[in-house]
Amino acid sequence: MADKKNIAICIPSGRFVDFSFFKSFAQNIGNLMLTYNTAVFTVASPMIFENRNELMRRTFKFEETNPGFLFDYILWLDNDIVFNFKQIQKLISHLDSGKDFVSGVYFNPLDDGIRPVAYYANGERYKWLEESELNGFIEVDAVGFGFCAFKMDIARRAFEKFKPRPFDLRPLDDGSLVTEDQVFCERAKELGYKIFLDSELIVKHAKGYLPR
């Protein structure tokens, strides 16, 4: 039997957790623990980008306080995502096969419809993918962090170069912001990593956002 991978599961949160997420987590944490060496981290704060930075710091602290133990991968779950164990297995299998950074697909409502939370660079901004662009396993410029995983080396290198905030906001001239997940993806790409989207791996927002 192959050695178990060591996985940090990071769940940023606000004050409330949707029961649909909690049910998913409770029903699947057993299989996760049997299949991988897992440690779960969570932080509650209204500032999501600071949540993500603090979670990353806590994974490093866990390694420091457990000499000889290092995480292989870091898995990010938002507390409004509904998922199952096979979906996480598939996400992790992409990393096992050599990919650096992979996201599943989930959808957010916009003024003109529902879009997958993944992006292509468009100058200093990002363009949402269209549902019609979801075609197999594709390289993208940025993803949301609701259901994604990447090699822990990305976290280590990003934190070393961009500490204390590898997740950060970037203001634009018109007053809008490039979000913390997009900024982190920019920095991962700057470090030489590629970001992929598995368009067949679709998870659900607890509020039920799905395409037609």
Q: What is the pLDDT of residues 41-73, one digit of tens each?
A: 999 877 777 899 999 999 999 999 999 999 999
Q: Which helix (H) or strand (E) holds 164?
A: none
Write down the pLDDT at residue 205.
82
Write down the pLDDT at residue 212.
46
User: Tens of pLDDT along 144-165?
Assistant: 999 999 999 999 999 999 999 9
Q: Closest by alpha carbon to 57, among 45, 67, 43? A: 43
**Whether residue 1 has pLDDT greater than 50:** no
What's the pTM? 0.94
Entry field: residues in the chain: 212
Quick one: tokens of 37?
Answer: 């060496």
**Whether residue 2 has pLDDT greater than 70:** no
**Whether residue 32 has pLDDT greater than 90:** yes
Q: What proportion of the chain, given as a percentage, has pLDDT over 90?
A: 80
Domain architecture of the chain: domains with CATH: 6-205 (3.90.550.40)
**Cα separation of 7 and 33, whole Å?**
10
Write down the pLDDT at residue 207.
66
Close Cβ partners of 53 (under 8 Å, ≥ 6 residues apart) = 164, 165, 166, 167
Q: What proportion of the chain, given as a percentage, has pLDDT over 70?
A: 96
Surface-to-core class of residue 135, CB atoms within 10 Å of its CB (0-12 exposed, 13-18 middle, 19+ buried)? exposed
- On the question of a cis peptide bond just before residue 164, with omega within 30 degrees of 0, the verdict is yes
**Cα separation of 6 and 52, whole Å?**
19
**Cα separation of 67 and 122, whole Å?**
43
31 versus 112: the higher-pLDDT residue is 31
User: Tens of pLDDT along 99-139?
Assistant: 999 999 999 888 777 889 999 999 889 999 999 999 999 99
Q: In sequence order, which ranges of the chain are alpha helices (DSSP H)?
A: 19-35, 48-65, 85-96, 152-162, 180-190
Beta-sheet pairing, 195-202 with 37-44 = unpaired
User: Tens of pLDDT along 79-105?
Assistant: 999 999 999 999 999 999 999 999 999
Write down the pLDDT at residue 10.
97
